[in-house]
Structure 1
Amino acid sequence: MIVPVRGDDTGLLERLRVLRTAEQVPLVGDDRWPQAQWDAVRAVAATTATPPGAAWATLTSGSSGAPRIVLRTAESWAASFAAVARLLDAGPDDAVLLPAPPSASLTLFSLAHALDGGPRPLLDPADRADATCLHGTPQALRSVLDAGPLPRLRAALVGGSHLDDALRTRAEEAGIRVAAYYGAAELSFVAVDEGDGLRAFPGAELTVRDGELWVRSPFVALGYAGSDGPLRRDGEWATVGDRAELVDGRLRLLGRADDAILSASATIVPEEVEAVIRSVPGVRDVVVFGLPQPRVGALVAAFVELDGPPPVGLRTAVAAQLAPAHRPRQWFAGELPRTAGGKPARAEAVRRAVAGEVDRLVL
């Protein structure tokens, strides 16, 4: 039985322990949800017959649209606890700072790890000084660094979105060893980058078929509650539709196939353009998308979040690294909307730009 739980419940960890001991399936919600969303989640929980072995219900981030409820076994997370403990160099005597709310799958993973002997979770920002490690998004790591030094913090496990090299360097200069990973709510951990590129996460096997990434691992979820989603299976292998390349054992992500921008005769991968724009000093983060345009299909557009005024020569710096069809033709600036876990909310970012709710940059 799926049991919705409020993320602000007093004694959340103990509440989760009680539910799991009773073999119920916790689903931690976001305290900021409107009542209608809580009602919808409770309705799904009440009408979904949980499959055998289901132990946890998590939410996809909703970065590209409405979130889904993902069901998984206890073993699908427990199988990665040892590898995560090594990456964080952390055990039960350590404390892991969890900036994202418990409704985020990466935070709920760490709560499940704590119930199985992992580091003590710190959900209250007031307890940050006790943290010896961190599990969160790049935005969370940046916020921690911006807030000032944490003398005990020595390691960070960072996922959810792209970690740029400048942020990794900044953390390492502060004495924090960083492991960045790629994963998905449906697949859990897929690949990890300890400083020399993304490689298969311990216990996972990767292959690319017709440009699409497939994973074989014990971490894959059971499926969805009350809806369908991008998770597909072929025997022991699974995919959520991410496009990728494998070169010398290193994984290069190219985004979802349905995110590609078709402009005239060119196919543009937003993640490739975003990587170039993020490399320009002064750019904090970016979402690249296509604006519909008659005859050519779409024009490339970029919604940038800046550290200050627009960097001088931004357009020139980008043009020097991108083919003409891949260069953004329209630029928008503002604070990127984010999911509860801190990932850029792509669908909402595009909506705001198209609706004229953010400033247009003239470069």
Structure 2
Amino acid sequence: MPPGATWTDLGPSLRRLMTGDDGRPVVVATSGSSGTPKRVRLPAAALRASGTGTAERLGGHGQWLLALPTHHVAGLQVLARSALAGTEPVELDLARASTAVALADAVARMDPGSRRYASLVPTQLHRALADPAGVAALRELDAVLVGGAATDDGLLERARAAGARVVTTYGMSETCGGCVYDGVPLPGVRVEVTAEGRVRLGGPVLAEGYVDDPLRTTRSFVTDGSGRWFLTEDRGVCRAGRLTVLGRVDDVVVTGGHKVEPRDVETALRSLPGVQDALVVGVPDAEWGQRVAALVALEGGLRPAVRDGAEEHRGATATADDLRAALRRSLPAHAVPRQVEVVDGIPALPTGKPDRAAARRLLDAGGRMKPHLH
């Protein structure tokens, strides 16, 4: 999909694709969150299976809000689901895609007589919840799919408490986007966790493979006695038919012989008063092998601090020691970040996923570089 393509550009061809009149595959680029973006070939049948499964899970076809770039799978899927439903999506001004006012304006243009859906990344959801106009817009939608990155439990709780019908999604370009909703696979999708704890996904939503990369295709798409599978780079557990994703295989930080889950540290940081967002990575360290390091973005320029054992954040000034001291009450010593940098915002890829490579560069520079935000 070409960058910047709109419904006007792609709608007619996607209608042919989703109605079976065109059997050519669609090629999309991965986000590049784990390295160089890869080009993935998605067959028309897989896109149709994904769109049909989504409609079945959400309670029927409807009109979609386009708030994500269409050259990545989440934005493409909004257009494909619209084509399958015979509806026309309402396009958010992508230059304002992370603002609550833009979201409210777009929702107001949607058809109130149809089921109305949106697909957002966690950053967009967070910013919508920070503005009464955004909250009101979220309440108007029959479902808000949230994916592209791990969504903090606290953010989900705030959204649901505000009346938003939020559905978490898990998937990737190789599975036509989200194929597991709120931990439960879409109809026809299969989920397994290997003995090593790695998630693999199967079913009709799988891609054909990677363009001009047969070796990577062979490594990632495997066939055994139970069918064809895509072997993800994620770790997870399945309990009572529900998948919980623990994080990426290569995200675990091994520091001084201890394993640290970045997601646990990020959750603890976001729970501190005044902390808007956080990103935790492992940084090479001569003494510890890796050190746990964190970027922290604060709400409204506030600087949370710790005074006499209690967090305060109104007008206070944070230091790394303040934040680390607060974390010691909820995390084991080896998981408390040895480096904390306060930044204006968490670096992100165009898809909304955290840019971990950029985060490591920021941490190497002591937080002085300006992050690339979307």
Contact 2:273 2:304 in 1 (8 A): yes
**Aligned match of 2:148:** 160
Over residues 117-165 of structure 1, what are the superposed CA-to-partner deviations in whole Å (9 max), with x where a residue is unaligned? Answer: 2653222335332243211211122333445122633320111112223
Unaligned runs of 5+ residues in structure 1 are 26-52
1:301 aligns with 2:286: no
**Counterparts of 2:336 and 2:356 in 1: how far apart (Å)?**
19
Equivalent of 2:356 in 321, 331, 346 = 346
**Counterparts of 2:150 and 2:328 in 1: how far apart (Å)?**
21
**Counterparts of 1:346 and 1:285 in 2: how far apart (Å)?**
14
Displacement of 1:321: 2.4
Displacement of 1:73: 0.7
Which letter maps to 1:154?
A: D
Q: 1:118 to 1:244 in 2, by over 3 A?
A: farther
**Aligned match of 2:240:** 248
Identity of aligned residues (%): 32
Helix, strand or coil: the match of 1:120? coil
Mapping of residues 1-363 of structure 1, within 5 Å: 5-8=2-5, 11-14=8-11, 16-17=13-14, 20=17, 55-91=25-61, 94-117=62-85, 119-125=87-93, 127-131=106-110, 132-147=116-131, 148=133, 149-150=136-137, 152-187=140-175, 188-193=177-182, 198-209=183-194, 210-227=196-213, 228=216, 231-235=220-224, 236-308=228-300, 309-313=302-306, 314-334=323-343, 335-358=345-368
Count matched residues: 324
Displacement of 1:104: 2.3
**Counterparts of 1:269 and 1:291 in 2: how far apart (Å)?**
14
Over residues 47-99 of structure 1, what are the superposed CA-to-partner deviations in whole Å (9 max), with x where a residue is unaligned? Answer: xxxxxx651111111223322111111111211223322444453xx432221
**Counterparts of 2:15 and 2:65 in 1: how far apart (Å)?**
23
Q: CA RMSD in A?
A: 2.9
Helix, strand or coil: the match of 1:116? helix
Q: 1:201 to 1:323 in 2, by over 3 A?
A: farther
**Counterparts of 2:367 and 2:334 in 1: how far apart (Å)?**
26
Helix, strand or coil: the match of 2:140? coil
**Counterparts of 2:12 and 2:3 in 1: how far apart (Å)?**
10
Which letter maps to 2:205?
A: F
**Aligned match of 1:47:** none
Q: 1:321 to 1:57 in 2, by over 3 A?
A: same
Q: 1:141 to 1:290 in 2, by over 3 A?
A: same
Unaligned runs of 5+ residues in structure 2 are 94-104, 111-115, 307-322, 370-374
Once the two structures are overlaid, the 10-residue window that deviates more, 350-359 or 289-298, is: 350-359
**Counterparts of 2:274 and 2:149 in 1: how far apart (Å)?**
19
4+ long deviations beyond 6 Å? none
Once the two structures are overlaid, the 10-residue window that deviates more, 347-356 or 226-235, is: 226-235
Q: 1:24 to 1:338 in 2, by over 3 A?
A: farther
Which letter maps to 1:97?
A: L
Q: 1:311 to 1:204 in 2, by over 3 A?
A: farther
Q: 1:12 to 1:128 in 2, by over 3 A?
A: farther
Q: 1:130 to 1:175 in 2, by over 3 A?
A: farther
Helix, strand or coil: the match of 1:298? strand
Which letter maps to 1:253?
A: V
Over residues 23-59 of structure 1, what are the superposed CA-to-partner deviations in whole Å (9 max), with x where a residue is unaligned? Answer: 999xxxxxxxxxxxxxxxxxxxxxxxxxxx6511111
**Counterparts of 2:278 and 2:66 in 1: how far apart (Å)?**
24
Contact 1:203 1:217 in 2 (8 A): yes
Helix, strand or coil: the match of 2:167? strand
Contact 1:88 1:157 in 2 (8 A): no
Displacement of 1:15: 5.2
Q: 1:279 to 1:252 in 2, by over 3 A?
A: farther
Q: 1:239 to 1:16 in 2, by over 3 A?
A: same
Q: 1:166 to 1:296 in 2, by over 3 A?
A: closer
**Counterparts of 2:340 and 2:35 in 1: how far apart (Å)?**
22
